[in-house]
């Protein structure tokens, strides 16, 4: 299974993630949780997926993270740990 790609993200995806993190007011503590999870080198399932961090969700598709959602927003795809 491929890994979620964090380095060398396409510019459009990187910019979108930064915009959504700001817009949804993802806190420094939450970004630190994301950093720790990233360091675990998580697998990328085929198709849509999401990781629930409690206060926000990270959603992606295949090897790319795509957006941040607020905790109360519904995510589509496979929930990953």
pLDDT at 1 over 90: no
Q: How far apart are CA 56 and CA 26, in angstroms?
A: 7
Each residue's pLDDT tens digit, 25-72: 999 999 999 999 999 999 999 999 999 999 999 999 999 999 999 999
What pLDDT, in 10s, does the model give residues 12-29? 999 999 999 999 999 999
pTM: 0.91
Which helix (H) or strand (E) segment holds residue 34: the answer is: helix 28-39
Domain layout of the chain by residue ranges: 11-79
> Which residues pair with residue 50 across a beta bridge?
59, 79
Question: Which pLDDT value is given to residue 60?
Answer: 97
| Contacts made by residues 28-33, CB under 8 angstroms, sequence distance 24+ | 30/55, 30/56
């Amino acid at each position: 299974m491929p890994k979620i790609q964090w380095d060398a993200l396409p510019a459009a995806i990187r910019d979108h993630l930064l915009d959504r993190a700001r817009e949804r007011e993802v806190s420094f503590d939450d970004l630190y949780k994301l950093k720790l999870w990233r360091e675990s080198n998580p697998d990328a399932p085929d198709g849509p997926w999401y990781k629930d961090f409690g206060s926000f969700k990270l959603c992606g598709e295949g090897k790319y993270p795509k957006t941040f959602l607020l905790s109360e927003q519904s995510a589509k795809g496979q929930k990953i740990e």
